[in-house]
Structure 1
Amino acid sequence: MQVITTTQALAAFCKDAANYDFVTVDTEFLRETTYWPKLCLVQAATPERAVIIDPLADDLSLDPFAELLAADHITKVFHAARQDIEIFVKLFGEVPRPLFDTQIAASVCGHGDSVSYDNLVRSVVGEQLDKSSRFTDWSARPLSEKQLTYALADVTHLRNIYAALRTEIDKTRRHSWVEDEMAILASVDTYVTKPEEAWKRLKAKVNRPRDLAALQALAAWRERKAQRNDQPRSRVLKDDALSELATQRPMTPDAFEKLRAVPRGYGRSSAATEIIEVLKTIEALDKTALPKVPEKPRGPSPKGAIGDLLRVLLKAVADKNGVATRIIASSDDIDAIVLDDNADVPALRGWRRKLFGEKALAVKHGRLALAATRKGVVEVPVDLE
């Protein structure tokens, strides 16, 4: 196997790869102790050749590979691409295009929801992968032969999986389904976390406008600090601590000691001083400047009988069409449909509306019933006259 450690060798591979219509790509990285993923290895394969690229080598620049990823005539094939693409967006400022994610395509083709690479290799290629090197230290050098063999397998089998899935998509004419799902991956915004939007990641529930303003401001503060220091968010402050700070809003070092989720002595830290300044700004805001807390849903509960029926319908539609349920509608989509016939969700747009959305509305309003039979759940039209 070839391990590329020089820019010259990488440029030669990329020049050769440009003669093909696709290249498979994977990465190995570390991010347990950092905010940004640390790229340790890049694997790439054309239909005829597979290589390992060492981005940690002293004499190697990834510029030739950046040009390959940007080439419009070459499809870049990944499996579960989001984290790999995040790395390339950070390095090169753009998403590889055009791209193809075999995990998404597999879900569309009925191989299951979020199917793993080794399961696809087993079901499509008929081989069993040795995954014992998955959690090794990819930043350590030299890499063992076992590590390199493991890494290369992530792109060599991917060639056959890509070919098989393309055939299935052509046969079922589900190109638009795949393209819809790929659109999220293809957007740079998917990989750029704006500090002012960091609060949306949190599961904290706040009921007062000033609490929400504090949560938004504290989450933005943590995100900027994590990015600046290249630390995981949790190393700066854990989610439950942010939530408690937003609702309790301590204004003195001693007040921090009364909080359960904040470490003892934290009130004397420089970070606590910064937090106090953030909270003072929030306290000074006029009521008219505070964000609005989302209203509680009105009407039938999304977790009630109607929601349950729609989830049964979703499973039946997914099984009938051989596609993962997540591709058709998310749990949030169903909750939204229960509350609003005109909800702005993917399940009520395009091919998803035709496949599931219209039926979901019919079930909701009693125009369509569901019946359990030996062959599974079937749809029964209801005459309301």
Structure 2
Amino acid sequence: MNRPAKAGFPPPQLIETTDALAALCARLAGNEFVTVDTEFMRERTYWPELCVIQIAGPEDVAVIDAEAPGLDLAPLYALFDDPSVTKVFHAARQDIEIFVLRTGRVPTPLFDTQIAAMVAGFGDQVGYDALVGALTGAGIDKAFRFSDWSARPLTPEQIAYAAADVTHLRRVYEKLKARLEREGRLAWVAEEMAVLADPATYRTEPEDAWQRLKPRTSNRRFLAVLRAAAAWREREAQRMNIPRQRVVKDETLLEVAAQVPKDAAGLLRSRGFSRGLAEGKSGAALLAAMAEAQALPESALPEVQLRGNGIKPSPAMVALLKVLLQAKCDEHDVAQKLLASSEDIDRLATEAEPDIPAMHGWRRQVFGDAALDLKAGRVALAAEGRRIRLVPL
């Protein structure tokens, strides 16, 4: 069984009533920060099913049973809205999505230790257990990682496991923050938090769902049909509260958008469509949506986003930019994924000054300006022992 990371923590309190939650949040409201985590289920549903919320302050650690009958989470949401208390998560995106779906708001102010760890040089998307080990020397018990958190009652072992996450997280946050303050990088983390703090980050618009499929085509008519089909699937999944892949799989959706069947019999020729789905109201709605997309005027079709003006990047230039990227990551001890993606490098190789994250804020200072200098022939790369350095030309 895991033990709290900080000596002196009392046993975790199981919160099952609104009064107990209000008393806890009143105590936590006077703290500089609280650490938060959630346990949820999503394997069988479209919308995440919130089961447990863990939260810790300097002298409190609690496991909130989000499924307790009659429990009102309003006191917790009020704490999340308190601008004087920083809410600390690790890999916060899915946790925050749950709260945005319930309240429309992001807990604020926010700090994500996974992003902070990338800024501090712990690599791309460092795992929580690895980060805890590196910063605190503690080990993480993984025995309940795939526990059924919707089952009741919660066992003492589940409660201890859940509570340990947020007690370890206190020490991780304190050590990361101190390190970033020494290195003058807290402002870098603040830039990254801006995306997580935007409620729009967590909203799924059915009309945008087709982009998740990443179709490799410039056929705008096909893209319009795919957009309509993907929006239909998203709405069906939301309506039935089941994972989108259980409505129809991605490959089936792509096939249907390419074939554009005219009737239920045509849908049934695509693997993945049941007779009930194809011949029912849902199938009729899909057929109507695709027919409407086929009838759209050219001006209403999706725009094809060409990168690099359609120019294939030079492999040599891409290779040079990747060497520079790695050299800058080594120099500044920052995760490569945080500076630039492979697509960003391709765009840098073909566009004069693309609108990518590497051309803005602290990334530009660390990498972007040097990349432009390298492309323009103002600097060259040279080996110096085991390191790569820039040489002005």
- Category of TM-score, reference length = shorter chain: over 0.9
* Native 8 Å contact 1:196 1:217 kept in 2: yes
Find the counterpart in structure 2 of residue 294 from structure 1. 305
Q: Which deviates more, 190-199 or 297-306?
A: 297-306
Is it true that 1:309 corresponds to 2:320 in the alignment? Answer: yes
Task: Identify the residue that residue 70 of structure 1 maps to in structure 2.
Answer: 81
Q: For the structure 1 residues 313 and 51, does the alpha-carbon distance in structure 2 shift closer, same or farther, using more than 3 Å as the test?
A: same
From 271, 275, 298, the equivalent of 2:282 is: 271
TM-score by length of 2: 0.93
Q: Percent of counterpart pairs with the same letter?
A: 48
- Partner of 2:161: helix, strand, or coil? helix
SS of 1:47 mapped into structure 2: coil
Q: Any residues of structure 2 matched to 1:118-137 within 5 Å, and which?
A: 118-137=129-148
Residue matched to 1:3 = 14
In structure 2, what is the equivalent of residue 57 of structure 1?
A: 68
User: Counterparts of 1:303 and 1:142 in 2: how far apart (Å)?
Assistant: 60
1:358, 1:296 → 2: CA distance?
20
> SS where residue 35 of structure 2 aligns?
strand
Corresponding residue for 1:255?
266
Please tell me the residue identity of whatever aligns with 1:84: D
Return the alpha-carbon distance in structure 2 between the equivalents of residues 65 and 254 of structure 1. Answer: 52
- How far apart, in 2, do the equivalents of 1:291 and 1:27 lie? 38
Indicate the residue corresponding to 1:190 in structure 2.
201
**Corresponding letter in the other structure for 1:304:** P
Distance 1:372 1:300 in 2: 30
**Alignment correspondent of 2:359:** 348
Q: Which runs of 5+ in 1 are unaligned?
A: none
CA shift digits 1:300-327 (9 cap, x unpaired): 5337221121111111101111110122
Q: Would you say 1:87 and 2:98 are equivalent positions?
A: yes
20-29 or 199-208, larger mean C-alpha shift: 199-208
Partner of residue 141, structure 1: 152
Written as runs of structure 1 = structure 2, the 5 A alignment for 1:145-164 is 145-164=156-175
- Comparing 355-364 and 94-103, the one that deviates more: 355-364
Which residue in 2 is equivalent to 1:46?
57
Report deviation, 1:74. 0.3
- Which residue identity lines up with residue 362 of structure 1 in the other structure? D
Shift in Å, 1:281: 0.9
Partner in structure 1 of residue 29 of structure 2: 18
8 Å CA contact 2:50, 2:66 repeated in 1: yes
Are positions 1:369 and 2:380 aligned together?
A: yes
Out of 234, 240, 244, the residue aligned to residue 223 of structure 1 is 234
Which position in structure 2 is the counterpart of 1:106? Answer: 117
Per-residue CA deviations over 1:22-81 (Å, capped at 9, x if unaligned) read 110000000001111000000000011111110111131111101011101000000000
Distance 1:113 1:220, change over 3 A: same
C-alpha spacing 1:169/1:71, structure 2 compared with 1 (3 Å): same
Give a deviation string over 1:157-190, Cα, whole Å, max 9, x none. Answer: 1111111011011101112210111111000000
- In the TM superposition, 1:332-343 aligns within 5 A as 332-343=343-354
- Counterpart CA distance in 1 for 2:127 and 2:351 is 35
When structure 1 is superposed on structure 2, of 290-299 and 335-344 the one drifting more is 290-299
- Residue 17 of structure 1: CA displacement? 0.3
Partner of 2:187: 176
**2: CA distance between counterparts of 1:262 and 1:375?**
54
Match of 2:334 among 323, 328, 331: 323
Q: 1:295/1:185 Cα in 2 relative to 1: closer, same or farther (>3 Å)?
A: closer
Is there any run of 5+ residues in structure 2 with no aligned partner, and where? 1-11
Indicate if the aligned counterparts of 1:256 and 1:262 stay in contact, CA closer than 8 A.
Answer: no
Secondary structure at the aligned position of 2:334 is classed as: coil
Determine the structure 1 residue equivalent to 2:126: 115
Aligned-partner residue type, residue 69 of structure 2: D
User: Which residue in 2 is equivalent to 1:205?
Assistant: 216
Contact 2:46–2:238 (8 Å) recurs in 1:
yes
Q: Residues 296 and 380 from structure 1, CA distance in 2 versus in 1: closer, same or farther, beyond 3 angstroms?
A: closer
Q: Deviations over 1:129-178 (max 9, x none)?
A: 11111001001011222211111111001111111011011101112210
Which string of whole-angstrom CA distances, capped at 9 and with x for unpartnered residues, describes residues 329-385 of structure 1?
Answer: 222221221121221111011221121111111222333222344322222233xxx
Q: Which residue in 1 is equivalent to 2:3?
A: none
AA of the residue aligned to 2:30: N
Aligned to 2:244: 233
Contact 1:302-1:334 at 8 Å conserved across structures = no
Q: Which residue of 1 aligns with 2:9?
A: none
- 8 Å CA contact 2:308, 2:347 repeated in 1: no
Q: Please report how far the alpha carbon of residue 224 of structure 1 lies from its aligned counterpart in structure 2 after TM superposition.
A: 1.4
**CA displacement at 1:191 relative to structure 2:** 0.6
357-366 vs 67-76, which deviates more?
357-366
1:20: Cα distance to partner?
Answer: 0.7
Residue of structure 2 equivalent to 1:357: 368
Counterpart-to-counterpart distance in 1, 2:298 and 2:171: 60
State the distance in 1 between where 2:115 and 2:242 align.
30
- Say if 2:308 and 2:351, in contact at 8 Å, map to a contact too: no
- The total of aligned residue pairs comes to 381
Q: Which amino acid aligns with 2:272?
A: V
Question: Which has the higher mean CA deviation after the structures are superposed, 219-228 or 19-28?
Answer: 219-228
Structure 1 residue 99, shift from structure 2 partner: 0.6
- Asked whether the equivalents of residues 302 and 338 of structure 1 are also in contact (C-alpha less than 8 Å), the reply is yes
Select between 280-289 and 165-174 the one with higher mean Cα deviation: 280-289
Shift of 1:220: 1.2
CA distance in 1, matches of 2:103, 2:378: 52
Question: Which consecutive segments of 4 or more residues in structure 1 shift more than 6 A?
Answer: none
